[in-house]
Amino acid sequence: MNFNTAILYDIENLIGGYGKTEYIQNLSLKEIFHSIQELNDGLPCIQKAYANWSDPRLKHLRDDINELGIEPIQMFGFGRGTQKNASDIQLAIDAVEIAFTHDHIKNFVIVSGDGGFSSLAKKLHEHGKYVIGCAYRKATNKIFEAVSDRFLWLEEPSTKPKLQVDGVNANDPIVMSFIRQYEPVNFVSNEHVIAIAKECLVFLSNNHDAALLLSGAGLNISIFSQIMDYRLQSFNYFSLGFVRLIDFLRFITYESNCKIIFKAPSEYRMVSKKHSINGFSDESYVTKLSNIHNKEFYRKILSKGTPMFKSFNEEVFDKVVALIDQYRLAYEGNLLSELIEKLDSLMPYSDNEIKNCLLSMVAADCFERFPEDKRISEQQLTFAPMDVMEAKVLLYEGMKAKLEKLIVDVDEDVFMSVMEVPQEVEMAEKM
């Protein structure tokens, strides 16, 4: 192999100065390196990147640096008086030194568009070196372009799609590093979900910033949740038999180098398996998947998230709906709290039973709600179905739709045991 190339990266020039967040966010040294390799026949034996590496916004480049074997050169004082060009000067000094001390290095790639490097290119030519410039077209000095033997144009960050995904913290270097390395995946099998989750754990173990947290203060589980949500656009852990993300993590970490730790009342973190943090206790592992098709699991799923179908007694539902249907005018335009108070005064059920029933009716669209942009507790509710039977069908359809969305293959017998819907409702559904 012909290791005859030195690549020198002027990071400050690539990001357009430390004030341009878009350039910083979209910079990928891997992309630049691969573009250089397509243009240059030789292999790099020296790579240096000049930047103020203490700037936290550059953290996402650490993985690129480690993977590509780039030596980070720490520079201070950017943008402050006479030290503004400190990185340019250091890069030029290193290039000349390499040219003098490494005869086998024939190719120099200067990743910058700064005009000051035209003099460096001329000096390298005097020593028989081949110079490749590499920069954004709009940010390249014409003289440096002219004196370079070849010039590689980089894609402007402003033309790239922003690395921004719903539910993802764009300021977190761990999350953004993951997004740069992986593409989203659509619906996959449960086996594939597990494999991808374990792949995410491997990434976290190898990522510089994540590894420091895993062996130190602990990694917030929201980081894992964000990268899984990005990687699997339709990701949910319900289809695997887990009601909580924590329980899914207890299963995924079983055969990994990580574990979940807990501190009362509700703080969870992920750490390396041999690591411990004072005040936290280890969560037990889940070693196998459980059967999801049972009444208890279906009820747990229905009561989580939105729409929320709370557990209630079918008799309560029948009586509540019948009373509201019979006296529609009396219950028209009431707040939830007012409905509970009125029904509680007339019925032999607890406030909680009545409230759960009403919330499930809201989830099943049994009420018209006004105004729509307010919280349920601030909305006026008006009973919408034509009769009691239509209300039961709406409830049936709403609960069934939620289960099918989350676990796909719903067991009809288990569902009916949760519903406990009379035979006439089954018949109405089939008609």
Query: pLDDT (tens digit, 9 = 90+) per residue, 246-291?
Result: 999 999 999 999 999 999 999 999 999 999 999 999 999 999 998 9
State the residue range of the domain holding 251. 173-282
Q: Same domain for 148 and 18?
A: yes
Q: Same domain for 147 and 275?
A: no
pLDDT bin (cut points 50, 70, 90) of residue 408 is confident
Q: Same domain for 19 and 142?
A: yes
Q: Same domain for 406 and 349?
A: yes
Does 241 reside within a domain? yes
Does 166 reside within a domain? no
Q: Same domain for 154 and 184?
A: no
- Worst-scoring range by mean pLDDT, 222-236, 345-359, 416-430? 416-430
Q: Same domain for 37 and 151?
A: yes
Q: Same domain for 319 and 272?
A: no
Q: Same domain for 305 and 276?
A: no
* Predicted local confidence at residue 160, as pLDDT: 52
Q: Same domain for 108 and 178?
A: no
Does 405 reside within a domain? yes
Buried b (16+ CB within 10 A) or exposed e, 267-302: ebbbbbeebeeeebeebeebeeeeebeebebbbebb
82/242: higher pLDDT: 242
Q: Same domain for 273 and 339?
A: no
Question: Mean of the pLDDT values across residues 101-118?
Answer: 94
Task: Count structural domains, the chain.
Answer: 3
Does 79 reside within a domain? yes
320/56: higher pLDDT: 320
